[in-house]
Structure 1
Amino acid sequence: MDKEKDGIPISSLREITLLLRLRHPNIVELKEVVVGNHLESIFLVMGYCEQDLASLLENMPTPFSESQVKCIVLQVLKGLQFLHRNFIIHRDLKVSNLLMTDKGCVKTADFGLARAYGVPVKPMTPKVVTLWWATAADCLESSYFKEKPLPCEPELMPTFPHHRNKRAAPATAEGQSRRGKP
């Protein structure tokens, strides 16, 4: 907002408008829009997610297992399928825009480049991060998710409290902790 002189940037308006209509476990939830002391101070209040996948992948002591990768990909695809069924394309999918809660739930975030579409499809710029693939529904039916190892349940995903607290204080525990273990 610092550089805007004529109001709210169109990407912010688009993101707010889209997020207000989207409610799905694998899409970040916009709880409210708050205006600060000045009209230039607008805040989007989102549901809390402990980390993003990009920083997790950079700092993990060991990589995710194949079962955990399948769990993550399934959740991303379920969120995308919901978006596509609601005629929305994200156009900026990357690991830094994928958030994860400590309950193993993966949520797609950052809808600044997202667009609603209809029939006929209006021209859109091809200069976006995400390539055009389509559909998420087809991907969800892939045999990859039915082969062993099967995707684990989100509740069985590892948690990373040492990673989350890294910025606030030095980590006190090494390695990944798992739910149910002290």
Structure 2
Amino acid sequence: MRNEAAGAAVFDEPSISLAPTPRDKWLACRMAMEEYGHHLKFNKLANELGLEDVHDRPPLSVFDYQVESWTGYVMTKAIVDLAEVVLMEDLCECSYVPLRDLCRSLMPEERFHVGFGTARAKRLAADPGTREEVRSSAHRLIAMTLPFFGRSDSRNNETFRKWGIKRLTNDEARAEFVRRTRALLCDDLGLDYPEVATRWPVTTS
């Protein structure tokens, strides 16, 4: 749930002033509103379960990415929100019905965010003036998003799978993210893909 609030604050809100048209500003406002809404709904469920306040924890490293241009923002939607979709798809089959139902209800908005990013990324990649920025932003965001899925040896993930909260290991979810972002960059945008590992932390031994 902290991911939605962090993403809205770090990615969506700054993008409003960067948006090139009134419609883009409206869409950025809409996505910020929806992400904050997701946070509130997940937070409500967490409070009902008596879970600790996650705001005391530092944000994930991907939220260190600074949105400095409209192109940079578009790529956060195409890539970081795609990671959210991969994780949420798994939770849509969760054994805990309230969480499963919540994720299913939020999925259309998350897919809209990714669709927005993908459509805008195609336009920007087709423009020689912004193509290289699309590439560099994508490469950096992919690398920064890989830890988002958690450690390869996560005991929490083992417990979640034992109880049916999750189906995928962290590495399986990370590999699916790599597969989809590779298709985006190579097939849809005609760009190269960075060298990445599907295990985290990466080991050299």
* TM-score, normalising length: structure 1: 0.29
RCO (CA 8 Å, sep 6+): is it higher in 1 or 2? Answer: 1
Instruction: Give 1 or 2: higher helix fraction.
Output: 2
* TM-score, normalising length: structure 2: 0.27
Instruction: Give 1 or 2: higher strand fraction.
Output: 1
